[in-house]
Amino acid sequence: MNQSEVKPTSTAQTVMIWIGRVVSVLVALAFGMSAMMKLKGGPEFAEGMEKLGLPESMILPLAILEIFCVLLYLIPWTAVLGAILLTGYMGGAICTHWRVGDPFMIQVAIGVLIWLGLYLREKRLWGVLPIRKMT
């Protein structure tokens, strides 16, 4: 570490970790609500799937996939794998919405929040993706 880099204090690290946890939980809640809506179903949901060009037979597997990926994301030992899988899931969502002409910026923002939450709560990533003070 060179002299121009500032090492965060213990208090700053604790704050970053807690902000990361909050962001991660908010992301997990968004995916959890999405999965529950898929499991609940209903005519409006089926209509939305049809508009996206997705068969109703994909609803249950997508809900299970979301829940599985979120669980991996929330478990510290598998959080990086969970983030990778959730990012891939969001890539598919972006492509699906883009294909039918729907806006997809929310999916992009969720993808960014997935990694922001993980980065802030996972100290191991701080060394891999260092944020340096500009001089």
| Phi/psi at 3 (5° precision) | -65, -25
In a domain, 88, yes or no: yes
In a domain, 8, yes or no: no
Q: Is 75 exposed, middle or buried (0-12, 13-18, 19+ CB in 10 A)?
A: exposed
Which amino acid makes up residue 39? L
In a domain, 2, yes or no: no
Q: What is the pLDDT of residues 12-64, one digit of tens each?
A: 888 989 999 999 999 999 999 999 999 998 888 888 888 888 888 899 999 99
Q: Can you tell me the distance from the alpha carbon of 34 to that of 89, in angstroms, rounded to the nearest whole number?
A: 12
Q: What is the pLDDT of residue 4?
A: 45
The residue range of the domain holding 41 is 13-128
Q: What would the mean pLDDT of 127-133 be, rounded to a whole number?
A: 72
Q: Can you tell me the distance from the alpha carbon of 35 to that of 39, in angstroms, rounded to the nearest whole number?
A: 6
Q: What's the domain count of the chain? A: 1
In a domain, 135, yes or no: no
Q: Can you tell me the distance from the alpha carbon of 45 to that of 39, in angstroms, rounded to the nearest whole number?
A: 10
Q: What would the mean pLDDT of 64-77 be, rounded to a whole number?
A: 96
Q: 33-37, 71-75, 124-128 — which is least confidently predicted? A: 124-128
Whether residue 85 is predicted with pLDDT greater than 90 in this model: the reply is yes
Q: What is the pLDDT of residues 94-110, one digit of tens each?
A: 999 999 999 999 999 99
Helix, strand, or coil (residue 102): coil
In a domain, 92, yes or no: yes
* Residue pair 52/97 in contact by the 8 Å Cβ criterion: yes
Whether residue 134 is predicted with pLDDT greater than 80 in this model: the reply is no
